[in-house]
Amino acid sequence: MTIEKIISLGLWPETKKTTDKKGIKELEDLGYHLFYIGKNADLYTCPGEDAKVLLVRSDRCSVFDIPLNLQIEKKGILQTAISNHGAEFANKEGIRTAILSEKVDQNLEVAPRCQLMELCKALEAEIDGETVQFELIFRNYLTGSLFDACQNGKDPYGLELPSNLQQWHKFETPIFTPTTKGVKDIPLHSSKVREVFPEIISNLEKLFKNFTSYANENGIIVVDTKFEVFVNSKGEWVLGDEVLTPESSRFISKENFDNEDYISMDKQILRNFAKENHWKEKAKDLKPGEKLDVEVPNSIKNKILEGYTTILNRLK
C-alpha cells in the first residue's frame, strides 16, 4: 500500500513529514519503500494492499529527543528481539499487539531488525472537554517525577498518596498514572481515564502484574511501564511495537536493585552522560534535520549493549 493511500485512509497524519529517500536496497528491491526516517527506526510501505508497514530498527541513538550522530552496533537487533518477546508475552495473556506474526524473508541480512506492523490509529477520547491521546503508565515503585510531586505536596493523578512516602517505596498493588501523548506529556486524573476505558485499563493492569512477577522470577525488577494503545481497522484496541521493553519500561537487574543501585538497564547511562556534557543546551542550536555531534566512550556503548543482552537472555 502506498503512502498516499495510507494517508487517505487516515492511518498516517498528513502533517507528519515523510521522505523521498531510498531505503535499504534489499528491501527496496522486494517492493518495500522507505517513507519515514525516525530517530531510531525507519518505516517502509509494503507491497500489496494490506494495511501494514515494515518497521526497521537502526543502531542510531537519541536521548531527550535529541538526534545524535551516534550509532551503537547491534543495538537495533537486540531491541527488535526484546520487542518480539514482549509482544509474545502480551499475546499469551490474551492482549493483541500491532506486531504481526508474519515475517519478512528471514534470509535477508536486515531481517533481525524487522517487524511487520498493522497500521492503526492512536486511541483517542475526550477528557475534561478535550480530545487527547494517551500514555497509560503503571508503576510498582515511587520514584522520578511522581516522587518529586509527592514531596512538593502535589497530586497530579488524583491518587491521594501520603506525602511521607520514601523514594523507592513499593506499592502493594501497581498504581496507574496516565498522561496525554504529545509534545508535552500532561498528567491525567487516574480515575477519569479508568472510567473511560475500564476494560483496557483492567487488562493492562493484569498484564503488568503478571509480567512483573515473571521478570522478578528471572532476575529483573520492573519499576514501571508505559503502554501506548491503538485501534486497528476492525475497531479492536491493540498495543504498539514497544511492549514491555526497555524503551517503554524501566528495568533494573535484581542484584543491582537489592544493592540499592538503581541504574536502569537501558540508555540511562547515556542520559547521565548527556546531562554531564550539557547536550540539551548544545542541541538548542541544531537546525531541522541536523544531528548533534557527540563522542561517547566505548565503555558506555558496551554497558548499554550489555544491559539489552541481559534483559533478552533473562526474559527469554
**Is the confidence at residue 271, as pLDDT, over 80?**
yes
Same domain for 144 and 62 = no
Q: Residue 294 domain-assigned?
A: no
Same domain for 189 and 83 = no
pLDDT at 184: 79
Same domain for 41 and 18 = yes
Burial 59-88 (b: 16+ CB within 10 A, else e): bbbbbeebbbebebeebbbbbbbbbbbbbb
E strand map for the chain: 33-37, 41-45, 52-57, 60-63, 66-71, 114-118, 121-122, 124-127, 130-141, 170-176, 179-180, 220-227, 229-231, 237-239, 249-253
Same domain for 159 and 248 = yes
Using alpha carbons, select from 200, 215, 276 the residue that is nearest to residue 250: 215
Q: Residue 314 domain-assigned?
A: no
Q: Residue 132 domain-assigned?
A: yes
Domain region containing 100: 3-120
Q: For cell 491521546, what's the residue?
A: 133
Band (126; pLDDT cuts 50, 70, 90): very high
Distance CA 270, CA 308 (A): 13
Q: For cell 531510531, what's the residue?
A: 40
Domain termination site, one of 95, 120, 145: 120
Same domain for 263 and 140 = yes
Per the prediction, the chain carries an average pLDDT of: 94
Distance CA 228, CA 11 (A): 16
Largest CA distance in the chain: 61
Do 117 and 228 touch, CB atoms closer than 8 A? no
Same domain for 127 and 15 = no
The predicted model gives 121-136 an average pLDDT of 93
Q: What percent of the chain lies above the pLDDT cut of 90?
A: 86
Same domain for 151 and 23 = no
pLDDT at 185: 87
Domain termination site, one of 86, 120, 154: 120
pLDDT tens track for 136-166 = 999 999 999 999 999 999 999 999 998 889 9
Same domain for 240 and 137 = yes
Q: Residue 299 domain-assigned?
A: no
Torsion from C-alpha of 173, 97, 123, 120, nearest 10 degrees: 170
Q: What is the CATH number of the domain that holds 95?
A: 3.30.200.20
Q: What is the CATH number of the domain that holds 164?
A: 3.30.470.20
pLDDT at 202: 98
Q: What percent of the chain lies above the pLDDT cut of 70?
A: 100
Same domain for 137 and 42 = no
**Is the confidence at residue 277, as pLDDT, over 90?**
yes
Q: Residue 76 domain-assigned?
A: yes
Same domain for 102 and 199 = no
Same domain for 133 and 92 = no
Distance CA 164, CA 166 (A): 6
Q: Residue 248 domain-assigned?
A: yes
The β-bridge partners of 66 are 63
Using alpha carbons, select from 30, 224, 259, 261 the residue that is nearest to residue 137: 224
Same domain for 110 and 141 = no
pLDDT at 14: 87
pLDDT at 241: 86
The number of domains in the chain is 2
pLDDT at 71: 95
Query: Helices (H) and strands (E) in the chain — how many of each?
Result: 10, 15
pLDDT at 9: 87
pLDDT at 57: 97
pLDDT tens track for 29-88 = 999 999 999 989 999 999 999 999 999 999 999 998 899 999 999 999 999 999 999 999
The predicted model gives 263-274 an average pLDDT of 92
In this structure, which amino acid lies at residue 199? E
Distance CA 314, CA 240 (A): 23
